[in-house]
Amino acid sequence: MLRSILIGIDNTPSGIAAQELGVRWAKRFDARLAGMIIVDSPAVPFSEEVVWAGASDSAAGHARSGEARPVVHDGRRLLENHFAERCRQAGVEFELIGDVGLPHVQIVVEAQNHDIILLGQSSCFEFGCETDPGQTIGRVIQECPRPVVAAPAASGGGESIVVAYDGSLEASRALLAFEASGLGRGADVHVVAVAALRQDETCCAERAIAFLRSHGIEATPEIVETSLPPAESILKQVQRLDAGLLVIGAYGQPVLRELFLGSVTRTILKECRVPVFCFH
């Protein structure tokens, strides 16, 4: 079950959506939220005295100490205040964490203290230095020891959950992490397998369903025979089943055999209109 949720805070629409998702899950599981605000080290000078907004407010949270920190801009203060106020309104326990360094490195290090990481689908922490908004999340997923959820700016869908499963090592790990999170308890869960050989994928889906059932989660198999690319097929099933969450590991076998964050996963992370639960 979720007890501690780390959120990478930025001011993009998807970053704000990640905060709202975190608040909702924190209330559901009585979990603690940790809002992480990162100052990208290449983007700022290190000779300035550090002033972390909210660092002296013990009721609101805390900010980590460090040897060299930049001055926090007014924008950072606004983000801290917005996060703190939202948590107070929801009655959610929270803390504020400030760090300096490469965003994906700082998030991966801090992730060891939490159960799950929430980031906006297009989060941008580099203060104008990041040429491709959202590139941090790919790096985090590749290196993170915990599951990562990418939230879109405008999340649609209902309450059901789609688990895209191909029997791979990564998919099996993602299934285990999903079960451990408690997000599947009492939910309408569908295991989607996309392939040309229906018999093989039926067996694959049945193994995933048997695992979930052994942990008290009932799931429905959805075997999809199609000539469409896997990413497109999965996204169509998310829409058809009115899902509110998509769970993926690596996807694409045996022809694709892509590395995690190959074209299938990248496409899903970029185009999915519901939160995507990933675990490498």
- What pLDDT sits at residue 82? 92
How far apart are the C-alpha atoms of 224 and 43, rounded to whole Å?
47
Look at residue 28 and tell me whether its pLDDT is greater than 90: yes
Average pLDDT of the chain?
Answer: 81
pTM above 0.85, yes or no: no
Residue written as tokens 């829409």?
239
- What pLDDT sits at residue 46? 38
34 against 257, higher pLDDT:
34
Tell me the CATH number of domain 160-278, given options 3.40.980.10, 3.40.50.620, 3.40.50.2000, 1.10.3720.10: 3.40.50.620
**Residue ranges of the chain that CATH labels 3.40.50.620:** 4-151, 160-278
142 against 277, higher pLDDT:
277
Look at residue 244 and tell me whether its pLDDT is greater than 80: yes
Beta bridge partners of 33: 5, 94
Q: Which of 38, 41, 247, 260 is nearest to 144 (CA)?
A: 260
- What pLDDT sits at residue 23? 97
- What pLDDT sits at residue 64? 41
- What pLDDT sits at residue 70? 44
- What pLDDT sits at residue 157? 78
**CB-CB contact of 176 with 247 (8 Å):** no
CATH topology of domain 4-151: Rossmann fold (3.40.50)
Q: How many helices (H) and strands (E) in the chain?
A: 8, 10
**CB-CB contact of 252 with 264 (8 Å):** yes
Read off φ and ψ for residue 198, nearest 5 degrees: -65, -40
